[in-house]
Chains A and B, each alone.
Chain A
Amino acid sequence: MALDRRGFLKFIGGATAGILATPVVWKSLDDVSIWTQNWSWIPRNIDGANSYVPTVSKLCPSGVGVRVRLVDGRPVRVLTNNDHPLGGGLSSIAAAEVQLLYSPSRMKRPLKRTADGAYVGITWEEAETMLVEGLKKAKGGDKLAVITGDETGTINELFTALAAEMGSKSCFLMPGEAQPAAKAWELMGGEGQVGYDIEKSDYVLAIGANVLETWGPVIRNRRAFKAGRPHGETPSVRFAYAGPVQNNTAAGADVWLPIRPGAETVLALGLANLLIKAGASSPAADFADFKALAAKFTPEQVAAQTGVDAKRLAAVAQELAKAKRPLVIAGSEFGQGGGAAPVLAGLALNALLGSMNREGGIRALPYARKVVPAAMDRKALLQNDLVGWLGKVASGKAAAPQAIVFYEANPVYALPQTDAMKATLAKVPFKVAFTSFLDETAMACDLVLPVPMGLERFDDVDTPYGSGQVVYALAVPALAPLVDARPAGDVVIGIAKKLGADLGVAAFADALKAKAEARGASFTEPSATNAHVSSAVLPVNGIALRADVLSKAIDVKAPAFPVALAPVAKLNVGTSKTATPPFNTKTVRRWEIQGADLYVMMNGATAAKLGLQKHDRIELSNPAGKFTARVNLFEGVINDTVAVPAGHGHTAFDEFSKGKGENVMRLLAAGAEPGTGLSVWNSAGVNIAKA
């Protein structure tokens, strides 16, 4: 049947009338109007009564003193605690600590790895049985190793005591600034823990040490910085920073001395030479040797070795000499692997400046006595070199342990030569992690035990390295654990009992009480800080400058690579234990991470030399490892050096950090520092090719 014009119009008309007569149109219109206004659920805030708990952050390496704000018992904010000796502001990690309680990577229950590599949840009873069985096989003769990521807590005494009861001395701290400093101070003949009285200094020279971002109790350092610099006025405290990258510390400092990565010792000796020429001296018995060594480091020599401008060097030496209470703080620009020599040379500079044992200078702080009888004290623990030991295990010079316990440590991600270290750790038959987050190390363990986070547990911070005075800060729980976690201290005490050992303390709380007493602190009264400060210092006598050690340590031939590598550490990307907290992704700079790409920095001259432009994709490689990245031009990097942001490239954790960027630790190769034997990994180089 043919459809003529009239028929067609009839059909259309009829169809239109028919459709309009049905409810379809009206119902659809109604639905559309509802749908467009049908807003999805978004969270509502719930009101309640405020309460505040003063505590200290165990999550942030700065050990910052904080107040936790709770609303009807729900934690909502970490706030500044200005009364706390380690407080005075927030670090970008501590500011996000409450939110991290609900991190998607948080461990919620004990996990064990099954034969096919998957993790399944188990009960605490099963977990403890498995742990006891695993540890039984590691009795006697250093068959058990302990790696702890907590530099300041009494918890280490329980873990090391357990190891001692099992016949092992293989207990290690994760690498940091404290170990090289303890070594240097010991070599000089100093007693106790070396302390830096930044608060009372009027001139702070930081060599390598990233004092305004990662070094020591940073928030307390920065409070001193704040006090010495009234708004818009000429600062009463001058800060100078020497390092390869214009990092956050350099941004705040009055003077930036660009030096090549790993050149801290040479720079310090160059300054020592200028100071000695200007009349500085020291009563040290080996001063003559030191003077002779320093004399070799003429400004020209220092300029050739470190890349520093001779005039700038002389200006800093003059400022140091003129200052009333100068203080030199030396360390590694990324907080680890710098060796003892830079700290030794830095302390020698302090000796030349008369800064030993005086206000605004270097202090010797007593260690607290240990409270668990069988434990290793902090001094002994600091002497054990984790990277060195793993190197020996890898090469077969030391036997691989039967079992290894990790406490809040993430060595699989955070050690230099990451790939090799991971392979070495894989040799250990039984691995256990006590951790709050399912990190890279936990993902390599047979058993993973959740610990309450710092805001959910009793814990302590005892005089972090860098502090100028003895500080004992108690962490008190602001809330009960949100997950099925148990305090590691109590788990260890229970496990020891099952293994037939008595650690001498009935509960972790008793150990904390005893430690507080040992520090002369009492927390019986309500306090606004839960912290105790003591003015106790040890005498500083007969300090040696150790030219013998320094002369050996600086006699290293840098590996021949076209470009030197300078890792850049910042707290906003979290630590190896936390990865980037959810609230911190926005603080990562635009040309630092783009999607999954890491941007590395170099100055224009270096880029031109390598034929590179901004955004070019490059491959960084050396024998330790390789990865690709993109180029960001930043003129605050010394020539022939590539600055690589640290703390990225996680292979575990969650959508906020996993798979973003690359882990710079993979490119760092550890060697031994001549003269001290300490492991060092701060003078790496890389080949760069367009990818």
Chain B
Amino acid sequence: MSSFKEFKIKWGMAIDLDKCTGCGACMVACQAENNIAPQPDASNKLKSLNWLVVYELTNGKPFPEHEVAYLPRPCMQCGKPSCVSVCPVIATDKNEEGGIVSQVYPRCIGCRYCMASCPYHARYFNWFDPTWPEGMDKTLTPDVSVRPRGVVEKCSFCHHRFMQAKDKARVEGRDPNALNDGDYVTSCTEACPNGAIVFGDVNNPAHKVHDLVKGKYAFRLLERLGTDPQVYYISRREWVRRLGDNYLENEKVKG
């Protein structure tokens, strides 16, 4: 695998799965913020396109020992992203301070190698041009371009909000590379009424997320693949953490 850059700033999330109740507000807020078109029939989950998906987890036990949990899955913004190394046209790259994996739509040729290589199913292909019901395209935000058919798209950690936060800091005479905790948060983080998502710079001790990702119960999805995701999950429940990776039956789970 080719080597990847290390960054001083690393935007990341700590999602507490014990706080998520699966309401779906984050998914709706994500679509509205990032100009993702609605789908009249989204029952085929292989054909529905949403940067953030809330999965249902079960402990697999029969009633009454059954437990349920919900897992919101954005792009993991991997430190060693498998999508970047397979892209033949450098449409996706990890090259900017902050460590967000980019997706350059005008460069994408739609080969979908990245989708095949992403172990988190975080990437989506536009099989068709996006359409909105008549007039609803007036509600598009000016921040995120609309993607045509034939390109791959994915969660960008609301990158436009990062740029806006940096601009704001510059205008106010602050260092854009030293944003305060909360200056830049994603749309899903902001929308979650349960506060299940904490967003910030994982490398900055002044940010709450810095300590959270080092917590006893923090884990990442498929951590042992070596993708080094910047999205961390937290759960006090052992069975939830066990589902985060392919553990052997008697293997001890992290945390």
Contacts of A92 in B (CB 8 A): 23-25, 27-28
Q: Does residue A200 face the partner (Cβ distance < 8 Å to B)?
A: no
**For residue A226, which residues in chain B have a CB less than 8 angstroms away from its CB?**
19, 193-195
A102 touches B136 (CB 8 A): yes
Q: Report the Cα distance A419→B146, complex, angstroms.
A: 44
Judged by a CB distance under 8 angstroms, whether B171 is at the interface is no
Task: Let me know if B43 and A593 touch, CB within 8 A.
Answer: yes
The reply on A638 being an interface residue by CB < 8 A is: yes
Q: Which of B85-93, B96-104, B215-223 contacts A (4 or more CB under 8 A)?
A: B215-223
C-beta contact mask, B67-102 vs A, less than 8 Å → 1, else 0?
111100000000000000000000000000000000
A594 within 8 A of B: yes
CB distance A232 to B193 under 8 Å? no
Cβ of A79 and Cβ of B215 under 8 Å apart? no
B148 and A42 contact, CB distance less than 8 A: yes
Option from B62, B63, B140 in Cβ contact (under 8 Å) with A76: B140
Q: Is B132 an interface residue (CB 8 A)?
A: yes
B39, CB-defined interface residue at 8 Å? yes
B20-58 vs A: 1/0 string, CB under 8 Å?
111111011101110100111111010010100010101
B137 within 8 A of A: yes
Chain A residues within 8 Å of B136, by CB = 99, 102-103, 582
Interface residue ranges of A371-400 to B (CB < 8 Å) = none
The digit string for B132-145, where 1 denotes a CB below 8 A from any CB of A, is 11111111111111
How far does the Cβ of A619 sit from chain B's closest Cβ, in whole Å?
21
Please, how many angstroms separate the alpha-carbon atoms of A234 and B217 in the complex? 11
- With A96-B32, A231-B234 already in contact, the answer to whether A39 and B23 are too (CB < 8 A) is no
Does residue A46 face the partner (Cβ distance < 8 Å to B)? Answer: yes
Q: Is the CB of B192 within 8 A of A586?
A: no
Q: Is A363 an interface residue (CB 8 A)?
A: no
**Number of A residues, CB within 8 Å of B:** 82
Q: Does A33 contact B (CB under 8 A)?
A: no
Partner of B68, one of A234, A250, A570, A585: A250
Inter-chain contact A605/B63, CB cutoff 8 Å: yes
Q: Which B-chain residue is minimally distant from A212 (CB atoms)?
A: B21
B216: nearest chain-A partner, CB-CB: A232
Q: Determine whether the beta carbon of B23 is less than 8 Å from that of A635.
A: no
Contacts of A45 in B (CB 8 A): 35, 140-146
A90 adjacent to B63 (CB under 8 Å): no
Known interface pairs A229-B18, A232-B216; A586-B193 also in contact (CB < 8 Å): no
A interface footprint on B215-255 (CB within 8 Å = 1, 0 otherwise): 11110000000000000001110000000000000000000
Contact B14 A76, beta carbon cutoff 8 Å:
no
In the bound complex, how far is the Cα of B68 from the Cα of A581, in angstroms?
26
B64 beta carbon closer than 8 Å to chain A: yes
Give how many B residues have a beta carbon under 8 Å from the other chain's beta carbons.
73
By the criterion CB–CB under 8 Å, are B133 and A582 in contact? yes
Q: Is residue A637 contacting chain B, with contact meaning CB distance below 8 A?
A: yes
Which of B50, B64, B141, B142 is A258 in contact with, Cβ under 8 Å? B64
Chain A residues near B45 (CB, 8 Å)? 590
* Residues of chain B with a CB closer than 8 A to A47's CB: 142
- Contact at B43–A231, with CB atoms within 8 Å? no
Question: How many whole Å from A648's CB to the nearest CB in chain B?
Answer: 11
Measured between beta carbons, the chain B residues less than 8 angstroms from A88 are 193
Contact call A583/B28, Cβ cutoff below 8 A: yes
Given contacts A102-B139, A226-B194, A246 and B23 within 8 Å (CB-CB): no
Segment 587-635 of A: residues with Cβ below 8 Å from B? 587-590, 593-595, 603-605, 635
Q: Is A417 an interface residue (CB 8 A)?
A: no
Counting CB contacts under 8 A, is B212 at the interface?
yes
**A-side contacts of B130, CB under 8 Å:** 42-43
Within 8 A of B (CB), among A63-120: 69, 71, 74-80, 88-92, 94-96, 98-99, 101-104
Chain A residues within 8 Å of B70, by CB: 251
Whether A249 touches B141, Cβ cut-off 8 Å, given contacts A99-B32, A655-B40, is no
Question: Which of A3-11, A217-225, A434-442 binds B?
Answer: A217-225
Closest chain A residue to B132, Cβ basis? A43
With beta carbons under 8 angstroms apart, the residue of A104, A587, A605 that contacts B54 is A587
Closest chain B residue to A221 by CB distance?
A: B193
Q: Contact at A43–B140, with CB atoms within 8 Å?
A: yes
Q: Does A213 sit within 8 A of B, measured CB to CB?
A: yes
Which of chain A's residues have a CB closer than 8 A to the CB of B140? 43, 45-46, 76
| Closest A-B pairs by Cβ, 10 of them | A89-B193, A587-B24, A635-B66, A226-B195, A43-B137, A582-B38, A102-B136, A95-B28, A222-B193, A252-B21
- 19 chain-A/chain-B pairs, Cβ below 8 angstroms: A45-B35, A47-B142, A77-B139, A78-B32, A89-B192, A90-B193, A212-B194, A232-B212, A232-B236, A246-B66, A248-B21, A248-B22, A251-B70, A585-B48, A586-B27, A595-B41, A595-B43, A637-B63, A639-B63
Instruction: Known A-B contacts: A103-B133, A222-B194, A231-B19. Give 5 more (CB < 8 A).
Output: A39-B149, A219-B193, A222-B21, A482-B135, A604-B63
Interface residues of A (CB under 8 A from B): 39-40, 42-48, 69, 71, 74-80, 88-92, 94-96, 98-99, 101-104, 212-213, 218-219, 222-223, 225-226, 229, 231-232, 234, 246, 248-252, 256, 258, 309, 482, 570-572, 581-590, 593-595, 603-605, 635-639, 654-656, 660
